[in-house]
Amino acid sequence: MPNLSLTAIVITAALALGLAAAPEPLSAEPRANQLFGAKAKGSRQASQAFGAYNKGCAAGLMELPETGPTWQAMRLSRNRNWGHPEALSYIARLSRFAAQQPGWAGLYVGDISQPRGGPMTSGHQSHQIGLDIDIWMLPPKRLNLSRGQRESLSSISVRASNQRGVNGNWTPQHAAILQRAASDPAVDRIFVTPPVKIEMCKTATRSDRDWLQKIRPIYGHHYHFHVRLKCPKDSPGCVTQSPSVRELSNGGNGCDDTLMWWVTDYLNPPKTTKPTGPAPPPRRSARDFTMADLPRQCQTVLASN
Ligand SMILES: [Zn+2]
């Protein structure tokens, strides 16, 4: 008998005995976003964030009440108004401050996380561990919007159409709320459109500017700002985000050339004569993650009641 057939017989026998498993085709592995997206409620576990903002999940998330004394959760159909208790108390205190600003009844709150965090079927790469909060730039006139109105109402952009400055929707109240938002010790960083940071660098007082370091320029983010909270004490498995080189180039508050890059070279890349190197490998989207990509505790979070 030729060797090849013998090998085949041995493998067949091993499979029959359960000694070796046939490899699963990759496509059969369920996507983590489908598994997490199917959960309607948080897990009945102690609150804890696992993994990173863009690769993780969370146990014991709480639902942000759809309407609070000084906020409303928007786009309820998405069921993304779930957060770590630290996120919910942060929203309560920031919205209380916002409600003291002229023209602001409080805050309209966009996405936080899915009930158990994890990757999402649409939209964000982050917001996976209950510690990212989107807050609308639209000043709430009232806090009694119906479910339907919360689906149809849109936020407003505070960025000029040439993307180099803020527009007429920007007010001193936006600046006051963002300063307060960044000054909260629970905050790691806040993402905003670069023109907002440029404006705040111009108008912040000379004596109190440390909080400006936490206001970080990024593409998009002109209809909402994105608050990222630090890893809470109850979450040793939560991974703090490391600062990027561009963000902290001079160890200062970021009111410098790296900020102006966003409204110069970023918008209008200079022509280069240097040959460009090979393109970096494409970053894997959170939408492609399987459970094997996430911290192992996420299995328990998913399986929990
Ligand atoms: Zn966001």
Question: Ion ligand 1 — residues with CB under 5 Å?
Answer: 134, 226
* Cα 18 to ligand 1 centre (Å): 46
* Cα 142 to ligand 1 centre (Å): 23
* Cα 208 to ligand 1 centre (Å): 27
* Cα 230 to ligand 1 centre (Å): 15
Give me the pLDDT at residue 302, please: 97
* Cα 135 to ligand 1 centre (Å): 8
* Cα 165 to ligand 1 centre (Å): 21
* Cα 108 to ligand 1 centre (Å): 13
- Can you tell me the distance from the alpha carbon of 243 to that of 228, in angstroms, rounded to the nearest whole number? 13
CB atoms within 10 A of CB 208: 10
* Cα 222 to ligand 1 centre (Å): 11
User: Running along the chain, 305 residues long, what does each successive block of 10 average in pLDDT?
Assistant: 44 42 61 96 98 98 98 98 98 98 98 98 92 98 98 98 96 97 96 96 87 94 97 95 59 84 90 74 88 97 96
Give me the pLDDT at residue 16, please: 40
Closest CA to 184 of 224, 133, 219: 133
Beta bridge partners of 50: 57
Give me the pLDDT at residue 275, please: 66
Surface-to-core class of residue 156, CB atoms within 10 Å of its CB (0-12 exposed, 13-18 middle, 19+ buried): middle
Give me the pLDDT at residue 282, please: 79
Give me the pLDDT at residue 209, please: 86
* Cα 68 to ligand 1 centre (Å): 21
Q: What is the DSSP string of 165-226?
A: SB-TT--HHHHHHHHHHHHSTTEEEEEE-HHHHHHHHHHS-SS--GGGGGEEE-SS-SSEEE
Q: Which domains occur in the chain, in start order?
A: 43-269 (3.30.1380.10)
pTM of the model: 0.86
